[in-house]
Structure formats: structure tokens, C-alpha cells
């Protein structure tokens, strides 16, 4: 059997992961399960461990569940490691949102100034984990969910020898939405090909029964009520005919770029009213843990569907099983480009449909992007690469170079003041800028 380690196990998403494991018990045999968190998450992890044990028992599975704050003990001899921690926890997310808004910018977990700050807190920890894995479990696979997932994956790909794949639930949500638009019940009945960067992907093809259904799906979702949007992004209608003219479906996160002012105004209104997304999630999380505590509960509760990351376990568990069983199915993952997207470096991380094998993902290449879209993807890749460099070096000029090219970040005095505040607020987790 396999040793599975979950880093950041106190996440309220963990029961989903456990459900996915239970569903796949016959194809993905687990010997022991190790939950890892830090002191701040000890109590949440204990509640998750309790629920996990009840879920396993209810399904007749005799798998020991260990809880630890000592990562090395957990990583020793691991086969699969799922990384899903939040550096600085929710309070750091909320401060990213609030600081950005204070300086007239979109405040978001993985985009703009917030994405930059998140990366600078997270990448040093992610690289420390990867270095430990090189010693303690050099053959293990590291599945990264930890946001900003694309940048974290690229940092590990470039600075460590650990085998790693980055994941996101956005492609899964898009697949489910497309299935409902097409009136198909099984997402494996059609093929969706996506390409781009994490939270910056485009659906390029949808094939069903030998036909390209992309134009039809575009028509259906353009009528409004876009079913492709996760819970954390406010529903918005794309401008008329935009998608039809593009001939691609931009993922919902592209709204932050193509409809920046609309998104900014909406966010500002929410921040002044019900709260930022991080603040809303804090309340949601409190409610979820109240439910998880219940000793009668032995399954994933419906309430988890209020989170934007729902279905991520489908991706995580399916990916682990696909690697383990050499399934050679198509999944949408963050991996080394290697020519899949023309115009981006081979060694950068891209989010693309890939064939999943025992030797890892083999990215499918896509027809070249139109030049304007490619330029935007390249710009965002430069932002990501400079951000990774800044997160490692703590070089303020590198940070400035990253931020000043990001379309969601202001320049001049607003940027200087915002950056000062981000650095001051995050001293404990960021390199010394």
C-alpha cells in the first residue's frame, strides 16, 4: 500500500480529498495517511482527523490516520504528498485583499498584488518542503494545490528535483459546466482541451461524438448564467459576442483582466458590505468546522459546496490514481511547457491538458494562440517569473519589476506605498526585502 501525506491538512477542503480516496479504494490502495499542519492549525487538523477516521470506518477501511506538526516524520518514505497549505492562514489572505483595495487595486488571492504577496509568503515554504522530500522521499510525487498554484509549481520545477504536478479545480468546474450545457452526464464523454497559465486558461477545443462543439458551447454560455464560474467569483456576463469572436472560452479568472473595472467596483462594494472573500470564507469555515465536529457525521457535508475550490479532490485523487495506475487519461495540470504552448519558454510551468502516465504528465500541444492573447499570456508569465525570483531573493527591485507589468497593479506612489505595507505586514513569512 501507499503512504499518503497531506500538508495543510486542517483545510476545510480535506473531507473532499478523503471522499475521493474512499471512492478509489480498489484502485488506489493506501497503507497509511499522514496529516500535517502547524501549531495554528492543530485544532482544525484534529477535527479533520476525527471526521476522516469516521468516514474511513463507515466505509470499512482500516487505514491508520496520523496527525503531526513534524513534517519530516510524515515525509519519510512517502509515496504521494498533497500540498494544500495557506501560508499565513486566512488572516494573510484578508490583509492582501484589504491592502490592495486600500491602494485602489483588485484584492484577490492569486491575482495582482495579492497573488504576488501570497507567492512571496508561500514559495520559500514550498521549496523547503521540496528540499526535504529530496532527502526523505525522493521518488514521491508532490501534488501542489497550494496557491498561487502555477507559480509554486514552477518554483519547485526549477529549483528542485522532486517530481511535481500543480493542480486547480477551475478546469474541473469548466468541464462540469460544459457537460451541463451539452446535456451530457459524464465529463469523460467529451474532450476539452485547455491551455494557458493557472487561473489564466482558455478552452481551445471541445470534442463530442466526433464534432468540435466549441461554437455551440460558446453560444450556450454566452446567453448568460455562465455555469463555468466557481463560487468565489461573482457571476458576470461576458460582453456580447466576445467569446464567439475569440473562438475560445476564457476561464472565469480572465474577468479580472478583461473586465477589471467592473470586478474592482464589485469587490469594493462587497468589501464595504458583507466583507471581502477572505472574510466571507472565514465565516464559512467556522460554520463548516461546527458541522465537522459532530461525532455523528461520517461523510463530506453538502455545505462544503459553498467554497470556490469544490471538486479539487476529484482532480487530486484522479491524478494520483492515474499516475499510480499509468492510466494515460487526459487531465488538465500545471507542468513543464516543453513546447506545448508556442511562444513560452520550455522550462516554465503552464496549465495544459496532458496525458497522465506513470512517468508523469505529457502535455498536449495546442495550436498557436492569436498574437494578442499570446502577448498577454507572455506578460503574465514574466510577472510570474519575476515574482518567483523576488520570493526567493527578497530583491525589492525584482518585486517592483514584477508588479509594474501586472495589469491589475497600479504604479507610482500607490505601488510604493502598497508594497511597503505588504512587506511590513508579512515580515514573518517573506524574505527580508
The residues, any chain, with a CB within 8 Å of residue 79's CB and separated by 6 or more, are 2, 3, 4, 137, 139, 140, 141
Which one of the listed residues 66, 103, 207, 253 is annotated catalytic?
253
Give residue 117's region: left, alpha or beta (phi > 0; psi -120 to 50): alpha
Q: Which three cell numbers stand for residue 113?
A: 498584488
Percent of the chain as helix, strand, coil, to the nearest 5: 50, 15, 35
The whole-angstrom distance between residue 191's C-alpha and the CA centroid of its chain comes to 22
Distance of CA 16 to the CA centre of its chain: 15
Which partner from the list Mn ion, ligand G6P, ligand NAD, none does 89 bind, CB cut-off 5 to 8 Å by kind?
ligand NAD
With 0-12 / 13-18 / 19 or more C-beta atoms within 10 angstroms meaning exposed / middle / buried, residue 143 is buried
Asked if 360 is part of the footprint of ligand G6P (rule: CB under 6 A), the reply reads no
The site map against ligand G6P for 271-290 (x = CB under 6 A) is ------x---x---------
309 near ligand G6P, judged by CB under 6 A: yes
Least Å from the CB of residue 200 to ligand G6P? 12
Calpha distance 199→81 (Å, rounded): 22
Closest listed residue to residue 97, CA positions, set 431, 369, 422, 430: 422
Residue 232, binding choice from Mn ion, ligand G6P, ligand NAD, none, Cβ under 5 to 8 Å by partner class: ligand G6P
The Cβ of residue 39 has, within 10 Å, a number of other Cβ atoms equal to 7
Site track 169-208 with ligand G6P (rule: CB under 6 A), x = hit: xx--------------------------------------
Task: Check if the beta carbon of residue 191 is closer than 8 Å to that of residue 217.
Answer: no
Site string for ligand G6P, 24-53 (x = CB under 6 A): ------------------------------
Question: What, of ligand NAD, ligand G6P, Mn ion, none, does residue 114 touch, CB below 5 to 8 Å by kind?
Answer: none
Q: By CB under 6 A, name the binding residues for ligand NAD.
A: 7-8, 10-13, 36-38, 40-41, 44, 84-87, 89-90, 109, 125, 145-147, 149, 167-169, 309, 312
User: Among ligand G6P, Mn ion, ligand NAD, none, what does residue 361 contact (CB within 5–8 Å per kind)?
Assistant: none
With CB under 6 A as the rule, give the number of residues binding ligand G6P. Answer: 13
Q: Which does 277 bind (CB under 5 to 8 A by kind): ligand G6P, Mn ion, ligand NAD, none?
A: ligand G6P
Site for ligand G6P in 217-236 (CB under 6 A): 230-232
150 is a contact residue toward ligand G6P (CB under 6 A)? no
Q: Which is nearer to ligand NAD, 168 or 217 (CB)?
A: 168
d(CA 191, CA 189): 7
What is the signed CA dihedral for 279, 284, 286, 290, rounded to 10 degrees? 170
What residues numbered 362-421 form the site for ligand G6P, per CB under 6 A? none
Q: Which of 91, 94, 111, 102 is nearest to 418 (CA)?
A: 102
Taking CA atoms, 237 is separated from 167, 173, 279, 372, in Å, by 26, 17, 25, 22
Q: Which does 230 bind (CB under 5 to 8 A by kind): ligand NAD, Mn ion, ligand G6P, none?
A: ligand G6P
Whether 397 sits among the annotated catalytic residues: the reply is no
Segment interacting with ligand G6P (CB under 6 A) among 237-245, 305-313, 358-366, 386-394: 305-313
Q: Which residues are catalytic?
A: 253
Give contact residues for ligand G6P (rule: CB under 6 A): 109, 147, 168-170, 230-232, 277, 281, 307-309
Amino acid at each position: 500500500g501507499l503512504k499518503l501525506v497531506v500538508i495543510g491538512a486542517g483545510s476545510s477542503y480535506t473531507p473532499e480529498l478523503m471522499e475521493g480516496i474512499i471512492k478509489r479504494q480498489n484502485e488506489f490502495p493506501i497503507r497509511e495517511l499522514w496529516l500535517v499542519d502547524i501549531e495554528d492549525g492543530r485544532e482544525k487538523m484534529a477535527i479533520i482527523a476525527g471526521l476522516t477516521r469516521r468516514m474511513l470506518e463507515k466505509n470499512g477501511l482500516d487505514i491508520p490516520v496520523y496527525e503531526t506538526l513534524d513534517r519530516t516524520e510524515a515525509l519519510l518514505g512517502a509515496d504521494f504528498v498533497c500540498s494544500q497549505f495557506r501560508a499565513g492562514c486566512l488572516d494573510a489572505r484578508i490583509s492582501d485583499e484589504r491592502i490592495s483595495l486600500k491602494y485602489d487595486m483588485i484584492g484577490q488571492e492569486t491575482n495582482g498584488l495579492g497573488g504576488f504577496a501570497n507567492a512571496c509568503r508561500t514559495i520559500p515554504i514550498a521549496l523547503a518542503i521540496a528540499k526535504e522530500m529530496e532527502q526523505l522521499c525522493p521518488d514521491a510525487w508532490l501534488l501542489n494545490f497550494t496557491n498561487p498554484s502555477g507559480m509554486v509549481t514552477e518554483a519547485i520545477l526549477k529549483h528542485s528535483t522532486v517530481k511535481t504536478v500543480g493542480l486547480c479545480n477551475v478546469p474541473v468546474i469548466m468541464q462540469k459546466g460544459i457537460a451541463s450545457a451539452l446535456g451530457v452526464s459524464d465529463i469523460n464523454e467529451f474532450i476539452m482541451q485547455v491551455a494557458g497559465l493557472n487561473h489564466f486558461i482558455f478552452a481551445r477545443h471541445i470534442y463530442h461524438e466526433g464534432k468540435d462543439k466549441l461554437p455551440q458551447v460558446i453560444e450556450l454560455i454566452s446567453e448568460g448564467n455562465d455555469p463555468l464560474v466557481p463560487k468565489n467569483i461573482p457571476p458576470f456576463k461576458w460582453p456580447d459576442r466576445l467569446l464567439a469572436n475569440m473562438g475560445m472560452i476564457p476561464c472565469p479568472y480572465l474577468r479580472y483582466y478583461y473586465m477589471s473595472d467592473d470586478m474592482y467596483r464589485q469587490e469594493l462594494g462587497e468589501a464595504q458590505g458583507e466583507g471581502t472573500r477572505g472574510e466571507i470564507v472565514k465565516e464559512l469555515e467556522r460554520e463548516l468546522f461546527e458541522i465537522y465536529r459532530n461525532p455523528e457525521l461520517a461523510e463530506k457535508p453538502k455545505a462544503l459546496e459553498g467554497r470556490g475550490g469544490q471538486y479539487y479532490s476529484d482532480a487530486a485523487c484522479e491524478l494520483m490514481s492515474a499516475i499510480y495506475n499509468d492510466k494515460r487519461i487526459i487531465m488538465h495540470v500545471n507542468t513543464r511547457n516543453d513546447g506545448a504552448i508556442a511562444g513560452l519558454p520550455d522550462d516554465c510551468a503552464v496549465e495544459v491538458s496532458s496525458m497522465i502516465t506513470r512517468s508523469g504528465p505529457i502535455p498536449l500541444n495546442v495550436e498557436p494562440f492569436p498574437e494578442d492573447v499570446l502577448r498577454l499570456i507572455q506578460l503574465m508569465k514574466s510577472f510570474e517569473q519575476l515574482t518567483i525570483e523576488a520570493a526567493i531573493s527578497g530583491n525589492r527591485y525584482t518585486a517592483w519589476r514584477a508588479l509594474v507589468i501586472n495589469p491589475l497593479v497600479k504604479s507610482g506612489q500607490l505601488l510604493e506605498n502598497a508594497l511597503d505595507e505588504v512587506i511590513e505586514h508579512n515580515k514573518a513569512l517573506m524574505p527580508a526585502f
